[in-house]
Amino acid sequence: MKKKLLAVLLAGTMVCSMAACGKKSGADAGSSKEDSGETSSMSIVLRGGVYADVIKECLPAFEEEHNVTIDVQELSEDDLHTSVALNATSSEGAYDLCMVDGSWMAEFTDSGVLANLSDLGYELDDDIIEATTSICYVDDNVYLAPYYGNVTVLMLNKANVEEAGYTADTIESMDDIVDICKKAKDSGKLGFLYRGDSQNNLVVDFLPILLSYGGWVVDENNQPTVNTEEFTEAMNCYMELVGTGEAQVKDDLVASVDSGAATMGIGWPGWYTPTEDSAADYIALSGKASADSEANNANVYGIWCLGIPENSQNKELAAELLTYLMDKDVQLGTVESGGVPCRYSSLQNEEVLAKYPQYEVVCQALESGVYRPVMAEWTEFYTTLGTEMDNIINGAKTVEQGLADAQAELEEIMAQ
Amino acid sequence: MMKKKKKNNADAQIKRFSIGMISPAILVLAVMTAYPLIFTLVYSFSDYNLLKAMKDGVQSIGLKNYTDLLTDSYFQQSVWNTVKFTVLTVVLEMLVGFGMALFVNTLRRGQKAMRTLLLLPYLLPTVTVAMIWRMMFSPNYGIVNQAMEALNLPVYNWFSDIHTAFGMLVLIDVWQCAPFVFLLLYAALQSVPQSQYEAARIDGAGPVKILFFVTIPNIKKSLALCALLRTIDSFRLFDKVNLLTGGGPANSTSTITQYLYNYGIQSFDFGFGSAGAIVMTVIVLILSSFYIRRAIK
C-alpha cells in the first residue's frame, strides 16, 4: 500500500514538474517581455563571409535601440538553403530574418516560406538599382530586399593582360579574352581558370559567356534551351578558354590570378578588393562575342537578398531590422568593410569612388545584370546541366552529345 | 508442490527482470533505428519533397523512385565508383593496418609512443583531414607540387584531374583509416599466446610460415570484423568527396551518398533520396551478409 502511495506521489510530482516546464507560446512570451521591459531576442541566419560580416557590424546599434539581442548564424550557401527550407516546415520558426539567394526565390515563394514584406509595411525605394529588384516582387508585393550586390565580373591579372598586348579597358569581347588566355598559356602561364568543384559553380561561371553569345538556359516559358546554336557556340568558346587553364577552387583561383600564375577567371566582387597597386583587378564583361557583334547584358547576379520567414515569431521587429539594414546611410557605412549595396547613393558616392574606384564597374554590372532563372526547379536544373557540362569539359562527352543529353534531361525535369 | 511454485515465481521474476533490463535498449533501438528506417522506406514510395509537400502534400507513386534511380546512368556510375572505392580502400587499409600492427608488435621499446603517433590521423576530424590534403596538394601553394616542380617532375591539379582525383580520395582514406585497422589488429595480436610462436620456432617455422599458420589463424575473427567495419564505413563515404571533389570531375568520384546529396537532398526531393538510401542499405547488407551469417551461427 505504502509502495503504491509513493508511486502515485512520484508520478504526480513528475506531471507537475513537466507542466511547470512547459513554455508559453512565442507571441505571449514576447509580449510579456516587451511589457516588462526585458531584453528580447531574435535569431537571424546569414551566408557566412563578408556578406554576414557587414551585417554583424551594423547590429549593435539596432540591438541597443530596440533592447534586443540578435543571435547570428553564419552558414555556407548549401547549408543556408537547407536550413531556411527546413525551418519553414515548423509551425514556429527559429529564424526571424534570413539571407536568400535570388535563385531560391521561386521555390521559396511557391511554398510560402517567405513573409509578404508589403504586408509588414516594407517597400523598396527608388535609390535601389531597379534591375536588382526584378525578382523581389510577387503580384506587386515585396518578398525580398536586395542587400549585397554580388554580380559576376571578370577577374584578371593586370601584368599578364598587358603582356598579351591588352589593358583592362581594351578587352572588348570574348574573342579578346580567348586571345589573352592563349597568349598567356603560350608564355607558360595558366590562361583561364574555372571552378569545377560543384555543378552550381560550373554553371554560374559559364552563364556570363553564354549571355555574351546571346544565349540563355531557358526561354520565356522556362523551357530549357541548352541545345541551341548560341549555347553550342558559347560552349565551344568556353572549351577554348578551359583549354588554356584548369579547374581550381575559389581560394586557389583568387590566389592564382593575384600571383600571376593564372591570367583570368569569372569571379565576384566579394572575393577580392582591388587597389591601384594590386596585381589583380576586375572588369564587367562587355557582353560581346566578337568585336563586331551585338553587346548583350552578360553579368549574372548572385545578389544576397534579405527576407523574413513566414513562421518568424517576431515579424514586426524583423521588419524593423530589415528596414534598418536596408537604410541608405547604414548601407553606405558598410562599404568600408567590403559591403556592396545595390544602391546608387553608395555606388555613385564621390567619396566611395575616390577610395574604391571598382564600385563604378560594380554599379555598371548591377545596372545591366541578369538573375538566374526564377523557377522552383532551379536546383535540379543546374545539377543536371552542370553534370553534363562537367562531362563535356573533361572529355567524357562531345559538346553536341552533352548538350543534347542535357536538353533531354532538362525537358523531363520541367515536364514533371 | 511448494517448491515448484517457488521455482515458477523465481522464473517469472527473472523473466520480468530480464525484460526490464532489455527494454530501454529495445526502446532506444526502436526510436533511433527502426522508426527512421521504416519512415525512409515509406517515403521511398512517395513523391515527398520538403517544400512542395507544404503546399501539395505527399502522394504515393509506387516504384517510380526506384525505377528512376536504377535506370539512371549516373546512379549506376556512382554505385560502380562506390564499389571500386570500397574494395580498394578495404584491401589497402587491411594490408597497411596489418603491416603497422605487426611492426609495432615486434618493437621492444617505444610501442606506446609509436601506437599514439600512428593513431593520430584517425583521431582527426574528416573536415580537417580534407583541408590538410587540399592545402598540401594545392596547385598554388601546395608543398607537393612545389617539391615535384623542384625535382622537374610533372605536376597535376590533383583533385580536378580526371586521372588523379579518384586515386587521391583512396589515398586520403587509406591514410586516415588504416590506423583504425592497426588499432584493432594490434589489440588482437597482443592476445596471441606466445607459446604458439615458441612451438612454431622449435618446429623450424620461418617468419612467413609463422605469419600464415600462427598469427593469422589466431586473429582471423578480428580481421573479419575489421574488414566488415571498414566495408560499411567506406561504402558510406561522403564527407571527403563532398569537400574535395563534389563528385567530379565528370562523375569520376561520385559515390552513392554524393549522388543522393546532389539529386535528392539539395533539391529537397526526399522521396527520391529515401529510395537511394534503401538501395544503399540493401547493398551494404548484401556485402556484409557473409560476416553477419557467421556471427549468427
Tell me A22's DSSP state.
Answer: P
> Per DSSP, what are the bridge partners of residue A154?
A266, A283
Interface residue A331 vs chain B (CB under 8 A): no
Per-residue pLDDT at B295: 61
Residues in chain B within 8 Å Cβ distance of A110: 51-52, 55
The mean pLDDT value of chain B amounts to: 90
Residue-by-residue pLDDT tens, chain A, 416 positions: 555 555 556 556 555 554 554 444 444 444 444 455 567 899 999 999 889 999 999 999 999 999 999 999 999 998 999 999 999 998 899 999 999 998 899 889 888 999 999 999 999 999 999 999 989 999 899 999 999 998 899 999 999 999 999 998 899 999 999 999 999 999 999 999 999 888 999 999 999 999 999 999 999 888 999 999 999 999 999 999 999 999 998 989 999 999 999 999 999 887 888 877 889 998 888 899 998 899 998 989 989 999 999 999 999 999 999 999 999 999 999 999 889 999 999 999 999 999 888 888 889 889 888 899 888 889 999 999 999 999 999 999 999 999 999 999 999 999 87
Interface residue A107 vs chain B (CB under 8 A): yes
The alpha-helical segments, DSSP class H, found in B107-203 are: 111-123, 126-136, 143-150, 165-190, 194-202
CATH code: domain B64-296 is 1.10.3720.10
Instruction: Tell me whether residues B55 and A112 touch, CB distance under 8 A.
Output: yes
Interface residue B71 vs chain A (CB under 8 A): no
Minimal C-alpha gap between A3 and chain B (Å): 18
Spatial contact of A278 and A348, defined as CB atoms under 8 Å apart: no
Neighbours of A218 (CB within 10 A): 18
Residues in chain B within 8 Å Cβ distance of A391: 250-251
SS3 sequence of A233-298:
HHHHHHHHHHHCCEECCHHHHHHHHHHCCEEEEEECHHHCCCCCCCCEEEECCCCCCCCCCCCCCC
Tell me B157's DSSP state.
Answer: -
Compute the C-alpha angle B57/B60/B64, nearest 5°.
125
Phi, psi of B97 (to 5 degrees): -60, -40
Per-residue pLDDT at B141: 81
> Per DSSP, what are the bridge partners of residue A280?
A157
Q: Does residue B217 have a cis bond before it (omega within 30 degrees)?
A: no
Which amino acid, residue B132?
A: I
Per-residue pLDDT at B54: 85
Between CA A88 and CA A113 the distance in angstroms is 6
Mean pLDDT over B226-233 rounds to 91
Mutation choice for B interface testing from A197, A310, A380 by most B CBs within 10 A: A197
Q: Provide the pLDDT confidence category of residue B7 given band limits of 50, 70 and 90.
A: confident
Residue in B139, B251, B268 closest to A85 by CB? B268
Q: Provide the pLDDT confidence category of residue B112 given band limits of 50, 70 and 90.
A: confident
Per-residue pLDDT at B1: 60
- Which of A77, A46, A44, A72 lies closest to A268 in space, CA to CA? A77
Per-residue pLDDT at A17: 52
User: Chain B window 199-218: which residues touch A at a Cβ cutoff of 8 Å?
Assistant: none
Which amino acid, residue A365?
A: A
Per-residue pLDDT at B101: 95
Minimal C-alpha gap between B84 and chain A (Å): 19
Spatial contact of A183 and A165, defined as CB atoms under 8 Å apart: yes
DSSP B180-217: HHHHHHHHHHHTS-HHHHHHHHHTT--HHHHIIIIIHH
> Per DSSP, what are the bridge partners of residue A205?
none
Q: What is the pLDDT of residues B43-83, one digit of tens each?
A: 999 999 998 888 888 999 999 999 999 999 999 999 999 99
Q: C-alpha distances in angstroms, B240 versus A106, B132, B144, B169, B245?
A: 32, 12, 19, 7, 8
Q: C-alpha distances in angstroms, A389 versus A103, A211, A285, A310?
A: 20, 16, 22, 37
Share of chain B above pLDDT 90, in %: 67
The alpha-helical segments, DSSP class H, found in B206-247 are: 207-210, 216-235, 239-244
Interface residue A393 vs chain B (CB under 8 A): yes
| Burial profile A116-147: b = 16 or more Cβ within 10 angstroms, e = fewer | bbbebebebeeebbebbbebbbbeeebbbbbb
Per-residue pLDDT at A30: 43
The burial of B218, by beta-carbon neighbours within 10 Å (0-12 exposed, 13-18 middle, 19 or more buried), is given as middle
Instruction: Name every residue whose Cβ is closer than 8 Å to that of residue B222 and which is 6 or more positions away in sequence.
Output: B184, B185, B187, B188
Residue in B55, B250, B262 closest to A383 by CB? B262
Residue in B141, B246, B262 closest to A197 by CB? B246
Q: C-alpha distances in angstroms, A185 versus A255, A262, A335, B16, B222?
A: 17, 9, 36, 79, 54
Per-residue pLDDT at B290: 75
> Per DSSP, what are the bridge partners of residue A146?
A305
The ranges assigned to domains in chain B are 64-296
Instruction: Tell me whether residues B138 and A252 touch, CB distance under 8 A.
Output: yes
The burial of A35, by beta-carbon neighbours within 10 Å (0-12 exposed, 13-18 middle, 19 or more buried), is given as exposed
All 3 cell numbers of residue A123?
517597400
Q: How far is CA A250 from the centre of its chain?
A: 15
> Per DSSP, what are the bridge partners of residue A299?
A369
Give the CA count within 13 Å in the CB-facing half-sphere of A269: 32
Phi, psi of A226 (to 5 degrees): -100, -5
Spatial contact of B263 and B177, defined as CB atoms under 8 Å apart: no
Q: In what order do the strands lie in the sheet with A40-47?
A: A68-75, A40-47, A97-101, A304-307, A145-148
Mutation choice for A interface testing from B266, B269, B270, B272 by most A CBs within 10 A: B266
